[in-house]
Amino acid sequence: MPHGNHFIIVTIDGGAAAGKSSTAGALSERHHLLHVDTGSFYRAVTLYLLKRGLTPEDEDKIREALQNPAITTRLRGRMARIAIDDEVPGEELRSPQVNEQVSRFASLKVVREFLLDFQRGHASFARENGFDGLVMEGRDIGSVIFPEAEFRFFLEADPDARNQRRVKQGEQDSIEERDRLDTQRKTAPLVCPEGAIRIDTTRMSLEEVIAKVSDIIEGEAR
C-alpha cells in the first residue's frame, strides 16, 4: 500500500456541483481507493420511492416502502454502485425529476437511517475487494458517516461557477435550491465538518483541485 501501509478513508463533502465527484474519481484512480458517491444512493432511493408514487410528505408510507428492499453494492470499476432489489439504476438517477425531489426525500430521517449502515459498510467492502482505502463523497460524510476519517475535505465554489459546471454537463439542476434544503434540514445537514480542510474551487481548475488534495494525502501519509 502506498500510504504508510494502512487503509485510508478520505471524505469529500460540499454543495451541488462543487467538484466532489470529479475529484473523488481522480483520487480513487491515483490512490487505488474505492469511490463511493453517496449522492447516487439518495438519488436511487428517491427514484425507488417516486416509482411507487410517493411524495416526501408521505412519511409513513415511505417507512413502510423501505422495510422490504434489499440494498447491496455492485462494483463497477473502482466505483460502488447501489442495487435496490438487484436493480442498478443508471442514467435516470440524474433526471430533472430526481434532481428536483432528491433533497426533499434526503431530508427525511427515515431515508437517512435507511442508508446509514449501508454507507459505513463500504469500509469493509473496500478492504474485502483489495482497495487501499475509500473515498466517499456527499454532504454529511466527514460529520456523520466517518467523522474519524484520516482525511476530510470540504469543497465549495461560487454559485455562478457551479451553475456553469452543470450547464456544461448538460444537466437541468437547481443547485441553490438543493443547497438551501440540504443546509437547513434538521438531520445531518450540509456543513463543513469541524476540522475538515476547506477548499474554494471557484478559481481553480479540476487538475489543481486534484493536485492539492493529493498532495495533502501523500504528504501526510509519508
**Torsion sign, CA atoms 103, 87, 165, 136:** positive
Confirm or reject binding of residue 8 to ligand DC (CB under 6 A).
Answer: no
Q: Under the criterion CB under 6 A, does residue 11 sit at the interface with ligand DC?
A: no
Minimum distance from CB of 8 to ligand DC (Å)? 19
Cα–Cα distance for residue pair 94/107, rounded to 1 Å = 18
Q: Which range touches ligand DC (CB under 6 A), out of 57-65, 80-88, 138-146, 198-206?
A: 138-146
> Which one, 3 or 213, has the nearer CB to ligand DC?
213
Number of residues that bind ligand DC (CB under 6 A): 14
What is the rounded radius of gyration, in angstroms, for the C-alpha atoms of the chain?
17
Classify each residue of 31-70 as buried b or exposed e, where b means 16 or more C-beta atoms within 10 Å of its C-beta: bbbbbbbbbbbbbbbbbbbbeeebebeeeeebeebbeeee
Burial 136-170 (b: 16+ CB within 10 A, else e): bbbbbbbbbbbeebbbbbbbbbeeebbbebbeeee
Q: Does 2 bind ligand DC (CB under 6 A)?
A: no
- Distance in Å, CB of 77 to ligand DC, minimum: 18
In this chain, which stretch among 55-63, 83-91, 133-141, 155-163 interacts with ligand DC, using CB under 6 A? Answer: 133-141
Other C-beta atoms lying within 10 Å of the C-beta of residue 96: 11
Instruction: Tell me, residue by residue from 71 to 110, as one string, x for binding to ligand DC by CB under 6 A and - for no binding.
Output: -------------------------------xx--x----
Contact segment (CB under 6 A) with ligand DC among 25-33, 34-42, 52-60, 153-161 equals: 34-42
Q: Which of 39, 69, 147, 159 binds ligand DC (CB under 6 A)?
A: 39
